[in-house]
Amino acid sequence: MSNLINVSPSPHTYGKETTRKLMFGVVIALLPALFTSIFYFGYSAIIVTSASVISCLLFEYLIQRFIFKKPISITDGSALVTGLLLAFNVPSNLPVFIIIIGSFVSIAIAKMTFGGLGNNPFNPALVGRVFMLISFPVQMTSWPVPAGFGTGYTDAVTGATPLAIIKEGLKNGESISQLVTQIPTPAQMFLGDMGGSVGEVAAVALLIGFIYMLVRKIITWHIPVSVAGSLVIFTTILWLINPEKNADPLFHLLAGGVLLGAIFMATDYVTSPMNPKAMIIYGCGIGILTVVIRIWGAYPEGVSFAILIMNAFVPLMNAYLKPKRFGEEVKNG
């Protein structure tokens, strides 16, 4: 056997990237946000995150083992990423049983029903999150206020998110200049010192993850920049029209889940478009829908819904928005 040589078609050399390396790259990019959330929300952030990750991995394992009856691929890191992102999208004091239900919806319904990794049309973590938000609205919207590492899991002081404060205030006829004293300063929001989901609060940590993923070439800039850019442009226009009724663009960018969504959720490989032109349109769609939901919708926050809605357009975009072919002849007339 030892003197046999292989014969196969070219290429004969391959890049170093693998699915697992890419997924674990995303995990590394999520670590700064995980550490800041532990810093702000205490060990409850650890409980929520572990519960989510363990149950996501378990559900994927059980389905592959007993229903698919195919080789187990939970070590590829995709369920780990889903678990982390799901935890990052919920309040840190969420009861564990709700997280387990959310994980089940994410993995079993949103991912495995369609055939597993690579086949799901909607972002699994967001499907799980929205399911929990609709089914357990009270638990999903009582946000612990950052109180440091010593905070207990159940005795945390809860409060509204900055977005909810603005939404409620405006509904009650208050103006932005009156409300501004009740919300954190941009610096506080940038560092994550505000109420919110486990992983969404610290802009700085998310941006570190973004830079890491860009350098590692895990994602390209197109989706995050077009989400953030379109959101800023749209909110700037509204703010210039009436600064008393509309919050400033910096507030919209830093409050809530825009950065988490733009950097980590909208860029999910499986559910985002596959060429730069479509990526930019998809990103702008998310940015604009987020603002529409925040300002005119029933919920104070709309990133999750915006991404899920745009997910639905991805097959259409892949079919009709094509990359520019080399040497494509320009049709005259």
Partner 1 sequence: MLRTFPVGGVHPQENKITAVSPVQVLPVPSSVAIPLSQHIGTPAAVIVNKGDKVKTGQKIAESRGFVSSNIHSSVSGKINRIDSVIDTTGYKQTAVFIDTEGDEWMETIDRSDEIVTDIKLTSEEIIKRCLESGIVGLGGATFPSHVKLTVPAGKKCDVLIINGVECEPYLTSDHRLMLERGEEVLIGVSIIMKALKVNRAMIGIENNKKDAAGHLTKLAGAFNGISVHELKVKYPQGAEKQLIKALINREVPSGKLPLDVNCVVHNVGTAFAVYEAVQKNKPLIERVVTITGKSLSNPGNFLVRTGTPVIRLIEAAGGLPEDTGKIISGGPMMGKALSSLDVPIVKGTSGIILLPRDESVRSEIKACIRCAKCVSACPLGLEPFLLMTLSEKGLFERAEHERITDCMECGSCSFTCPAGRPLLDYIRLGKSNVIKMARERLVKQ
Binding site for partner 1 (CB under 8 A): 2, 5-15, 17-19, 21-22, 73, 76, 78, 116-119, 220, 269-270, 272-276, 318, 322-329
Indicate the residue among 220 and 242 with the shorter CB distance to partner 1. 220
CB of 79 to partner 1, least distance (A): 13
Indicate the residue among 114 and 299 with the shorter CB distance to partner 1. 114
CB of 166 to partner 1, least distance (A): 37
Q: How many CB atoms lie within 10 A of CB 138?
A: 6
CB of 292 to partner 1, least distance (A): 27
Indicate the residue among 196 and 285 with the shorter CB distance to partner 1. 285
Cross-strand bridge partners of residue 159 = 143
Alpha-carbon Rg for the chain in angstroms: 21
CB of 282 to partner 1, least distance (A): 12
Its sign, for the CA torsion 242, 249, 277, 84, is negative
Work out the end-to-end distance of the chain between its first and last CA atoms, rounded to an integer number of angstroms: 64
**11 preceded by a cis bond (ω within 30 of 0):** yes
**Helices 19-41 and 203-215 sit at what angle, rounded to 10 degrees?**
160
Torsion of CA 83, 88, 89, 95, to 10 degrees: 80
CB of 19 to partner 1, least distance (A): 5
Residue with tokens 């389905």: 63
Centroid of chain to Cα 95: 21
DSSP class of residue 114 equals G
Non-local CB neighbours of 17 within 8 Å, separated by 6+ positions: none
CB 227 within 8 A of CB 262: yes
DSSP letter for each residue of 259-272: HHIIIIITT-TTTS
Indicate the residue among 197 and 311 with the shorter CB distance to partner 1. 311
Indicate the residue among 13 and 172 with the shorter CB distance to partner 1. 13
CB of 141 to partner 1, least distance (A): 33
CB of 273 to partner 1, least distance (A): 8
| DSSP three-state, residue 199 | coil
Residue with tokens 């089940």: 104
CB of 326 to partner 1, least distance (A): 4
Indicate the residue among 128 and 273 with the shorter CB distance to partner 1. 273
Indicate the residue among 22 and 34 with the shorter CB distance to partner 1. 22
Count of positions (residues) in the chain:
333
Indicate the residue among 327 and 333 with the shorter CB distance to partner 1. 327
